[in-house]
Structure 1
Amino acid sequence: MENSKSNSLEWVKAVVVAVVVAFSIRYFLFAPIVVDGQSMMPTLEHSDRMIVNKIGYAISEPKRFDIIVFHAPGGKDYIKRIIGLPGDHIEYKNDQLFVNGEAIAEPYLDELKAFYSNDFVTRDFDLAQTIGSQIIPDDHLFVLGDNRHNSLDSRDIGVVHKDEVIGKANVVFWPFVNIGIVE
């Protein structure tokens, strides 16, 4: 009888430890997210399931073109691509990104540019028009969805404070046909 109680107690301990470890991993390190909408197409599709790396930006800084998840106004989490970093001047002219006056390629938009062959993927704008400043403020990021015709992003909601960033999202784990790392 004593042996049975000891085995039961060991099982309970193992389950409790497993739950604590799983909770810690999900809360502090990695979390799943479901892509909601078409703002990141064709890079990400509606209902893609991804892993968000929550710890990466604790040990490194966000980089231009990282795909991030952040808390947006209205209590919703958005997934977008970082286009501008603190201190950057961003503008688009004739469907071309300029960062601090230098033309920057956006190869992840090639498929969309082919689809919209007679139209711009990104309409002309500069920071002064969208955020009321010539440069991105300290501790803020300028983000855009890849599907620029159908994206609620920094052109609409303004810059994103780094404290609102949940993490980097670059691993799709479902559906099976889309499994992989996205850039």
Structure 2
Amino acid sequence: MKFWKEIWEFAQLILFVLIFVVIVDQVVLINAKIPSESMEKTIMTGDRIFGFRMAYGPNLQFFGKHAGYKMKDPERFDVVIFKYPDDESQLFIKRIIGLPGETVNIVDGKVYINDSKEPLDDSFVPEEPVGSFGPYEVPEDSYFMLGDNRNYSKDSRFWENTYVTFDQIVGKALFRYYPSLKIIG
């Protein structure tokens, strides 16, 4: 009898741990491996990162796509993990550049918002970006994304569906845990 009681307690512990891990994985954190150089030098190819699924409110996948609840809006320069607008089965990671209702214009690699005379600070970009793109009128509840390694990034400039909607954002990148610890910001 004591043997079966110990087995049952052990099984309960394993079940509790499994449920806890599934909840953390599906509701709180997202674990991602970086497949390309599009975010270098911020995040390198092969890095492993954790993102916070609830950075902008409850996880919409868990609570339903139209949960209708937002705690905080995504901000310019946030590095986010999202469903790729042209194929939602893929997850991408990029930096938010254009916010809802803004006009984004890229001239000779420099990003301008709403006809500003001053380009955005892109000190996180590893090399001088090239090319002119836009203007892009960002719809409400949508975001314009760019990779930090702009000359080698497949981002909003090249997608068929140019913008990422709020519902497509899975989480905000928090930190790299492999090959070493680094806060992403």
Residues 92 and 122 of structure 1 are in contact (CA less than 8 Å); yes or no, is this contact kept in structure 2? no
Aligned to 1:168: 172
Aligned to 2:132: 124
The answer on 1:36 being equivalent to 2:26 is no
C-alpha separation between the residues in 2 aligned to 1:33 and 1:95?
Answer: 29
**Deviation for aligned residue 1:98:** 1.2
**Deviation for aligned residue 1:51:** 0.2
- Which residue identity is paired with 1:7? E
SS of the residue corresponding to residue 167 of structure 2 reads helix
Q: Can you give the 5+ residue segments of structure 2 that lack an aligned partner in the other structure? A: 58-70
**Identity, % of aligned pairs?**
25
* Displacement over 3 Å in runs of 4+: none
Aligned to 1:68: 80
Query: What is the CA deviation profile of residues 131-158 of structure 1, one whole-angstrom value per residue up to 9, with x for unaligned ones?
Result: xxxx210111000111111111101111
TM alignment of 1:107-146, pairs within 5 A? 107-109=123-125, 111-113=126-128, 121-128=129-136, 135-146=137-148
C-alpha separation between the residues in 2 aligned to 1:139 and 1:127?
Answer: 18
- Which residue identity is paired with 1:12? A
Aligned to 2:97: 83
1:150 aligns with one of 149, 152, 156? 152
**Deviation for aligned residue 1:92:** 1.9
Residues 106 and 135 of structure 2 are in contact (CA less than 8 Å); yes or no, is this contact kept in structure 1? no
Aligned to 1:131: none
- Which residue identity is paired with 1:143? M
**Deviation for aligned residue 1:125:** 1.9
C-alpha separation between the residues in 2 aligned to 1:81 and 1:51?
Answer: 15
Residues 78 and 96 of structure 2 are in contact (CA less than 8 Å); yes or no, is this contact kept in structure 1? yes
**Deviation for aligned residue 1:122:** 3.8
**Deviation for aligned residue 1:36:** 0.7
C-alpha separation between the residues in 1 aligned to 2:175 and 2:103?
Answer: 29
RMSD: 1.3
Q: Can you give the 5+ residue segments of structure 1 that lack an aligned partner in the other structure? A: 114-120, 129-134
Aligned to 1:118: none
Aligned to 2:113: 99
**Deviation for aligned residue 1:69:** 1.0
C-alpha separation between the residues in 1 aligned to 2:143 and 2:81?
Answer: 12
Query: What is the CA deviation profile of residues 15-68 of structure 1, one whole-angstrom value per residue up to 9, with x for unaligned ones?
Result: 101100110000011021000111111111111000011011112111101111
- Which residue identity is paired with 1:101? D
The alignment's TM-score, normalised by the length of structure 1, stands at 0.85
- Which residue identity is paired with 2:165? H
Residues 40 and 148 of structure 2 are in contact (CA less than 8 Å); yes or no, is this contact kept in structure 1? yes
The alignment's TM-score, normalised by the length of structure 2, stands at 0.85
- Which residue identity is paired with 1:93? V
Residues 42 and 112 of structure 1 are in contact (CA less than 8 Å); yes or no, is this contact kept in structure 2? no
Residues 30 and 171 of structure 2 are in contact (CA less than 8 Å); yes or no, is this contact kept in structure 1? no
Aligned to 1:182: 184
Which of the two has greater helix per residue? 1
- Which residue identity is paired with 1:61? D
